[in-house]
Amino acid sequence: MALGHTEEAKKVTTYTAEREENGFLIELFKDKETGQKTEVYLTAAKPGAFKGYHLHRVRAARYVALKGKMKITLYKPGEPELKEEHILDSAMPTRLFIPHDIATGLENIGDEEAWLVNYPDPAYDPSLVDEQVEYTEEELLQRIVK
């Protein structure tokens, strides 16, 4: 009789648009019904690294910093004047909710690797192939909507 069990937690190296490694992502929890959707994941960024910009057409993000300090920059595509910046610091735990259709950039502004945990709502579903949209800051400033 086993008292517990283990299962693989998928880890993916992440890259900038220029294909430089900037951190990683780990799927922490999958849904119990199908095991296909990611309910919680951790994204890590090297010191000085930037991840983004991207938005989700369906999912909202809910971030908490577990390690380090991250600046989260938000844009409403087509309306560059609607820009916000939030600092998430593991020394002062705060939750940040980001609705769907908001372009998000993550920048590690600390001197150590930074970790954010995200509880996406709804859970990440890999079958939704066009759900994530990538942007450059130039596209956002030029009012481009994809």
CA distance 114 to 68: 4
pLDDT at residue 103, as a whole number:
98
CA distance 96 to 15: 23
**114: nearest Cα among 55, 50, 53, 54:** 50
pTM reported for the whole predicted model: 0.91
Residues 6+ positions from 129 with CB-CB distance below 8 Å: none
Domain 14-141 -> CATH class: mainly beta
Report the chain (146 residues): mean pLDDT per 10 consecutive residues: 90 92 96 90 97 95 98 97 97 97 98 97 92 95 95
Domain ranges of the chain: 14-141
